[in-house]
């Protein structure tokens, strides 16, 4: 029986949850009874036909599990479009690749604003693991921008052919499977997952070399941890970002997500890490509650992301908070453009802008990072505040 705090599952959810549970139990048993948390999270999010992102959960927006900046307001996409325009201006035959496009709203907001600015890219590619979200993106774009749909295409894998332009990802890095660790007796144990009575449970095991090395760097950056300190790291961050950006010849990659520089991420007082799960607009910290039905996320270690940029041959061109990114791109002007003479609409937009920008909302915990390759363009989104020295 669900406790009072746990919502009732629909029959379809309960069936899906049971199938996912069977799948995970089979995989854990086949692996000898223990899998790393990273492997568990990978299966819970991406197992074909069952994982949270591979199956048909509703996920985004009203009635979904969580909301994102583009779902809160078109102002986010309008500002990102302004940033894209500054890059596209320097390139010919350029494309945009959006990774993890959610409902398609950000893509539509960016394309609409770029059209108004006279800076449309030749193509707008979308790379998304979720078949149902790809369908939702297509419907959204066909409805809103039927005359531009010919420019939009969906990829099944990262682009292999070199292209110029931009790569954009909002709230995608936080879904990359992370390894969890516990600090005990001056060394890292890796937290894994075993089959419990009627649900999965965490169980420490020896740390893989990549995890032990990430812990060593984290401890060096953030100071002494007490026994029992737990957190996470993302061993696949570098390989994944490299795979999705390697075909970019000249242009920028823009990453948006909640996260911190390493020295703050791993502060001793953040002793339970940053893992967060989302189910029907409720956030909680139990990754074993509804595997396959809930999103599982972790904050981004932006120092690791900056290191990945350099090793992939990019210049780290900017790092700032979402609030300063939007201010640098003139969100106030965008509000006036969008509202025109409509005072009620202006008031609505002002409310949305506050949600995007206030420190207690998304303004400070969400960051923007820019990588540049083969191009040296000024990026207004990073002109008001430069946090690169914190990385
Ligand atoms: C939290 S949603 C964000 C959606 C959208 N960017 C927004 O801001 O509203 C994550 C999106 O990334 C996609 N996604 C998750 N992991 C991915 C991966 N490894 N590669 C490509 N897309 C992924 C999901 O299907 C979903 O569309």
How far away, in angstroms, is 287 Cα from ligand 1 center? 18
> What is the arithmetic mean of pLDDT over 301-316?
97
How far away, in angstroms, is 364 Cα from ligand 1 center? 21
25-52 pLDDT tens trace? 999 999 999 999 999 999 999 999 899 9
Ligand 1 in reach of 102 Cβ (< 6 A)? yes
pLDDT cut 90: percent of the chain above it: 87
Q: Which residues pair with 233 in a beta bridge?
A: 179
The pair phi, psi for residue 355, each rounded to 5°, is: -65, -35
Centre a 10 Å sphere on the Cβ of residue 110 and count the other Cβ atoms it contains. 29
Q: How confident is the model at residue 65 (pLDDT cuts 50, 70, 90)?
A: confident
- pLDDT recorded at residue 57: 59
How far away, in angstroms, is 52 Cα from ligand 1 center? 11
201-252 pLDDT tens trace? 999 999 999 999 999 999 999 988 999 999 999 999 999 999 999 999 999 9
326-351 pLDDT tens trace? 999 999 999 999 999 999 999 999 99
Counting from 1 in the atom list of ligand 1, the atom nearest the Cα of 103 is: 9
Q: What is the dihedral of CA 108, 110, 115, 117, to 10 degrees?
A: 160
Radius of gyration of the chain (CA): 21
- Exposed e or buried b per residue across 336-366, where buried means at least 16 C-beta atoms within 10 angstroms of its C-beta: eebbeeeeeeeeebeebbebbbeeeebbeeb
- pLDDT recorded at residue 6: 67
Counting from 1 in the atom list of ligand 1, the atom nearest the Cα of 71 is: 9
Question: In the 8-state DSSP scheme, what is residue 49?
Answer: T
> What predicted TM-score, i.e. pTM, was given to this entire model?
0.95
Q: How confident is the model at residue 67 (pLDDT cuts 50, 70, 90)?
A: confident
Cα(74)–Cα(383) distance, integer angstroms: 22
Ligand 1 in reach of 174 Cβ (< 6 A)? no
> What is the arithmetic mean of pLDDT over 70-85?
97
Counting from 1 in the atom list of ligand 1, the atom nearest the Cα of 244 is: 20
Centre a 10 Å sphere on the Cβ of residue 246 and count the other Cβ atoms it contains. 14
Of the candidates 8, 47, 34, 169, the residue with the CA atom closest to the CA atom of residue 100: 169
Ligand 1 in reach of 71 Cβ (< 6 A)? yes
367-383 pLDDT tens trace? 999 999 999 989 999 99
Nearest protein CA to atom 11 of ligand 1, as residue: 100
Nearest protein CA to atom 24 of ligand 1, as residue: 100
Q: In terms of DSSP H, where are the helices of 122-233?
A: 131-144, 209-222
- pLDDT recorded at residue 58: 61
How far away, in angstroms, is 43 Cα from ligand 1 center? 16
Ligand 1 in reach of 129 Cβ (< 6 A)? yes
**C-alpha dist (Å) from residue 326 to 76, 262, 335, 377:** 7, 24, 11, 18
Cα(45)–Cα(177) distance, integer angstroms: 8
Q: Which residue has the tokens 């894998």?
A: 157
Cα(183)–Cα(35) distance, integer angstroms: 19
Cα(9)–Cα(61) distance, integer angstroms: 19
At how many degrees (to 10) do helices 11-30 and 37-46 cross?
140
pLDDT at 184 over 50: yes
Ligand 1 in reach of 291 Cβ (< 6 A)? no
Residues 6+ apart with CB under 8 A from 74: 105, 109, 338
| Average pLDDT, rounded, for the chain | 94
Nearest protein CA to atom 27 of ligand 1, as residue: 102
Nearest protein CA to atom 23 of ligand 1, as residue: 100
Contact yes or no for 51/59 (Cβ under 8 A)? no
- pLDDT recorded at residue 132: 87
187-202 pLDDT tens trace? 999 999 999 988 999 9
**C-alpha dist (Å) from residue 228 to 99, 179, 196:** 36, 16, 21
Among 100, 132, 171, residue to substitute to test ligand 1 (most atoms within 8 Å of Cβ)? 100
pLDDT at 3 over 60: no
- pLDDT recorded at residue 63: 67
Ligand 1 in reach of 127 Cβ (< 6 A)? yes
């Amino acid at each position: 029986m669900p406790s009072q705090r746990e919502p009732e599952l629909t029959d379809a959810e309960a069936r899906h949850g049971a199938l996912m549970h069977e799948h995970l139990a089979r995989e854990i048993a086949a692996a000898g009874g223990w899998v790393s948390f990273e492997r568990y999270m990978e299966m819970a999010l991406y197992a074909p036909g069952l994982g949270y992102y591979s199956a048909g959960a509703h996920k985004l927006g009203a009635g979904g599990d969580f909301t994102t900046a583009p779902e809160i307001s078109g102002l986010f996409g309008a500002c990102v479009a302004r940033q894209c325009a500054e890059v596209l201006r320097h390139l010919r035959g350029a494309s945009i690749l959006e990774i993890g496009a959610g409902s398609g709203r950000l893509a539509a907001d960016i394309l609409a604003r770029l059209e108004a600015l006279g800076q449309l890219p030749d193509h707008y590619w979308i790379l998304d693991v979720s078949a149902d979200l790809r369908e939702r993106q297509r419907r959204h774009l066909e409805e809103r921008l039927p005359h531009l749909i010919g420019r939009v295409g969906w990829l099944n894998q990262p682009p292999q052919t070199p292209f110029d332009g931009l790569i954009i990802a909002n709230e995608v890095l936080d879904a990359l499977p992370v390894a969890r660790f516990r600090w005990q007796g001056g060394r890292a144990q890796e937290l894994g997952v075993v089959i419990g009575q009627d649900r999965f449970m965490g169980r420490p095991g020896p740390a893989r070399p990549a995890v032990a090395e990430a812990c060593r760097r984290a401890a060096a950056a953030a100071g002494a941890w007490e026994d029992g300190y737990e957190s996470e790291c993302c061993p696949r961050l570098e390989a994944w970002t490299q795979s999705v950006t390697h075909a970019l010849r000249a242009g920028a990659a823009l990453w948006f997500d909640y996260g911190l520089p390493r020295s703050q991420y791993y502060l001793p007082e953040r002793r339970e890490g940053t893992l967060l799960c989302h189910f029907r607009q409720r956030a909680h910290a139990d990754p074993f509650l509804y595997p396959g039905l809930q999103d599982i996320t972790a904050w981004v270690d932006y120092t690791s992301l900056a290191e990945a940029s350099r090793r992939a041959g990019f210049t780290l061109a900017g790092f700032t908070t979402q609030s300063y990114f939007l201010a640098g791109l003139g969100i106030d002007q965008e509000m006036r453009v969008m509202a025109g003479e409509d005072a009620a609409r202006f008031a609505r937009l002002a409310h949305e802008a506050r949600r995007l920008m206030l420190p207690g909302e998304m303004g400070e915990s969400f960051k923007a990072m820019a990588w540049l390759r083969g191009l040296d363009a000024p990026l207004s989104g990073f002109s008001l505040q430069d946090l690169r020295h914190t990385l």
